[in-house]
Amino acid sequence: MLAVMEHAVLTRAGGSDPPRILRLVGHPVRWRLLQELVRSDRAVAELTELLEAPQSLLSYHLGQLRAGELVSMRLRSMNHLRGGLLMANDEIINVRYMVDDVDESIAFYTKYLGFELLTSASPAFADVKRGNLRLLLAGPKSSAGRPMPDGRTPGPGGWNRIHFVVDDIDAEVARLRDAGATFRNDIVTGPGGKQILLEDPSGNVVELFEPAAR
């Protein structure tokens, strides 16, 4: 992950360094990179989507910013296993949903489910956050929406889903239906509790689950 370094360069700048810093941040691509990294740590692939620029171009400018000590590579703790490394064990959980319309999806998740908008590069991409869940909303124009080598095109829908635990599922369903939300099914009751599947505007599923009383 990439991050903006905290004041280290500016406090060491002295009389001769500011012109160099200004040259670094004065380039429009590098300025946009810094704006995104001030908001949140980003992987290069995310920056490629947000800026809609080739990865090779962004890697070059990130290299310039790192050389100027304005950006750092933030390495997170890794879990070791025989045969190699696992992915970073981050506090933030990132889930990507393919969507048909990024703006409609932003409205759905912020209005109905209490997410906050982090960034929007609509119509290609946006990300929203609730607690430690960050949801990436990738439209058809995003890099994640490009066809596979065999011709298949990524799209929304399916049955895999994010899962929210609620205290009163009947009240939540009533609230969401009153607000105009669409459900794929009715409440289902099982030994572990009650569940229902809420659909976003693209047909992706969000599960609401009320655990059984213990």
Is residue 86 pLDDT above 80, yes or no?
A: no
Residue 213 tokens read as 């009383």
At 203, phi and psi to the nearest 5?
95, 5
Alpha-carbon distances, residue 19 vs 4, 30, 35, 36 (angstroms): 19, 15, 20, 23
Residues 175 and 181: their CA atoms lie apart, in Å, by 9
> In the prediction, which pLDDT does 1 show?
59
User: Is residue 162 within a helix (H) or strand (E), and if so which, with residue range?
Assistant: strand 162-165
Q: Of 57 and 108, which is predicted with more confidence? A: 108
Residues 158 and 54: their CA atoms lie apart, in Å, by 30
pTM value is 0.63
Q: What angle do helix axes 28-39 and 44-51 make, rounded to 10 degrees?
A: 120
Is residue 164 pLDDT above 90, yes or no?
A: yes
Give me the mean pLDDT over the 167-185 stretch: 96
Summarize pLDDT for 47-61 with one digit per residue, the tens: 878 887 777 788 778
Q: Of 46 and 210, which is predicted with more confidence? A: 210
DSSP state of 131: T
User: Under 8 Å CB-to-CB from 206, ≥6 apart: which residues?
Assistant: 113, 161, 162, 163, 164, 197, 198, 199, 200
